Structure formats: C-alpha cells, structure tokens
Amino acid sequence: MNIHEFQAKQLFVQFGIPVPKWKEIKTPLAAEKWAAALNSPVYVVKAQIHAGGRGKAGGVKITKTQTEVPALAKELLGKTLVTHQTGPKGRKVRRLLIEEGAGIAKELYLSLLVDRDSGWPVFIASTEGGMEIEEVAAHTPERIVKELIDPAAGFQGYNGRNLAFGLGLPAMEPTLLNPFVTMLGNLYRLFMEKNASLVEINPLVITRDKQLIALDGKVSFDDNGLFKHPDVQAFRDLHEEEPLEIEASGNNLNYVKLDGNIGCMVNGAGLAMATMDVIKLAGSEPANFLDVGGGATKETVAAGFRILLKDRNVKGIF
C-alpha cells in the first residue's frame, strides 16, 4: 500500500526524522490561513498524488509571496496531473501539502528497502539527491552506496558510519555525522515496526544552517502486514487506486490493471508472470496481472472473471 507524502512526513515526525513545517490542505481558504500562520520566506505548494514526477508535471509550486499561496492552491486543486507514473489518464489532485522552504546547501538520496538477494533490509544512499535513483544507477553507479542490515542484530552505529563515510559526509559537514547516524536508526525503526516495504527520502537535504531535513518522503507498506497496523490502514486513499483493484482486494485477489486487451487469470504469481510473457511473445498485450492464489474457491474464481469482464479493453481471457 502506498501513502501520500504528507502522511509519510506524519510518520517521520512520529519517529524523530526532521521535516519542514507542513500541513495538509484541501481548500484555497485553508491554504491562505496556513500561509499566514507559517510566515515563511519561501512557501512550497505540492500536489498530493500517488505518483512520482510531480514537479516536472507542474504539481509543485514555489513562491516567496504569502498572498500568492491561495491562488497556487486554487490552481492545483482539481487539476489532473499526468506524470510518467500515472499513465495518460493522470491523477486528479484532491489535496495539497504546503510547507516552508529550506535553504539548501546539498541534496542527498536515501532509501531503505528489502534486498532481493540476501532478504535483509538495505540502505541505499547517494550524493545525487533530487534525481531519480534509477538514472543515477544507470549512468553513475559509483555514486551509490549500499549498507545491508542484519535483521538478527538490527541497525548498529557502524552501519550508519559506513554510509556516512561512503557519502563523504564527514568531509562535507563533520557536525552532521552523529545526527545522520541517529536519523538512520529512526528510519530503520519505522521500516521494521510498521512493516514497510520502502522508505525513501529524495532529497534529504543539508541546509545552509547545517541541519538535516527530509524534504520529500515516500513510504510503501507490505499489504500482508497491514492487519497489524490500523493506523497505517487509515492512510489508504481509495481515490488513488483503480476501482477494479479495490474490488479485487475485497475478494482477496492479487490484481493489477494494465493497458493490454488479453485478460489473465492464473493460479500462482510466477505462472502469472510467465503467462503475461507468453501473451507478449504472441504479439498481444496483457490487460492485467491476476493471481487467484493456491486456495481459490469457485466464488473467488467467479469474482475474478467478473473483474476481468468489467475491463472494457479486454477482448479475450487466457
């Protein structure tokens, strides 16, 4: 399950990770009131959708004028943003995050996820903050630092120091070594205690007054662990999900809508992926990923067929 940036920052505050002063905003009037209360030299107005690339799509506005904030909020609210992650339909903006600007001296990248090879949590960091990490990995992989965390031992101080020295942080700003290590420990606690599958800060900034601030935040959760976290379940925004995917989750089906015209109903995720490959090999495109699971009943299968047939693009089912 994915959540909005403002929700990620809510968790960051809970776990002691520094963020700018911010507030979720749903109306221009609320934006006006918060801007007056914030009284910042710089205001940042961010559209809240479950997709990256908001800045390039015009979903992030910056102003130094307090009176411009309501107009920027009015411009973004209700707008449909199209990014490389939304598809051509885009996503409608229903809420904003408005926060104070930061005096940025340096941007870093930091994330925590599960390493597929070892099965251990791994920190990934880079000096190339503010960029897509995939681009950095493709063109300058030497600028990426990784640190595996043994789950039996948990995060240790030396893990944080390894990352800090790998980034050259002591040379950049020696006073931030200990705060950086502490922040990594807090990120690890968030990751483990909330059953997250990804925690990403891009960028993590060093400010001109020598502070570390999570300027952006992305957190995703393992669906299998959500039953343990009602507070995380409350973050779910159904507006950001495909209606067919919502219906599928209500029937305990693993369904992901795609853009093709051949519906897939398969028992087992690996076979589902192979089936999609076969469809592409035959010259068509899969309309979905659908794993009915090993314990599927006739009711589950019937629900799966109903969902597939509701997709107007589906011309056949394999």
- Just list the catalytic residues: 109, 200
Neighbours of 114 (CB within 10 A): 15
Strand partners, 144: 126
283 secondary structure, DSSP code: T
Alpha helices in the chain (DSSP H): 5-14, 28-38, 69-76, 133-139, 157-167, 169-172, 177-193, 230-233, 243-250, 269-281, 298-310
Count of alpha carbons within 13 Å of 206, Cβ hemisphere only?
Answer: 23
Strands 144-148 and 80-81: unpaired
Judged on CB neighbours under 10 Å (0-12, 13-18, 19+), 129 is buried
Q: How far apart are CA 287 and CA 266, in angstroms?
A: 13
- Which residues lie closer than 8 Å to 318 by C-beta, 6 or more apart? 262, 263, 264, 265, 275, 278, 279
Distance CA 188, CA 171 (A): 24
> Measured between alpha carbons, how far is residue 276 from residues 153, 183, 262, 279 in Å?
40, 41, 9, 5
Residue 316 corresponds to which tokens in the numbers above? 């056949």
Angstrom distance (rounded) from CA 140 to CA 129: 13
Question: Which pairs from 136-144 meet CB under 8 Å and 24+ separation?
Answer: 136/109
Which tokens hold the place of 294?
Answer: 């090993």
